[in-house]
Amino acid sequence: MKCVDEQPVLMDQSSKPRRGRPKKSSLESLDTRELLLRAGMKILTETGFVRSGIDPILKSVGVPKGSFYHYFSSKEAFGLAVLARYRRYFEAKLDSFLLDDAFSPLERLQCFAQDAQDGIVRHDFKRGCLVGNLEQESNLLSEVFREQLQATYHSWQTRVATCLLDSQKHGEIDTKVSISELSYAFWMGWEGAVHRSRLMKSTQPLSLFMMFFIQAIQVKAE
Per-residue pLDDT of the chain (222 residues; tens, 9 = 90+): 444 444 443 334 344 444 444 444 444 446 889 999 999 999 999 888 988 889 999 998 898 888 899 899 999 999 999 999 999 999 999 999 999 999 999 999 999 999 999 999 999 999 889 999 999 999 999 999 999 999 999 999 999 999 999 999 999 998 888 999 999 999 999 999 999 999 999 999 999 999 999 999 998 765
Nearest to 206 by CA among 218, 194, 188: 194
pTM: 0.81
Let me know: does 189 contact 213? Beta carbons within 8 Å.
Answer: yes
Architecture of domain 83-217: Orthogonal Bundle (1.10)
C-alpha–C-alpha distance, residues 203 and 197, integer Å: 5
Domain borders along the chain are 83-217
**Count of CB atoms within 10 A of residue 71's CB?**
17
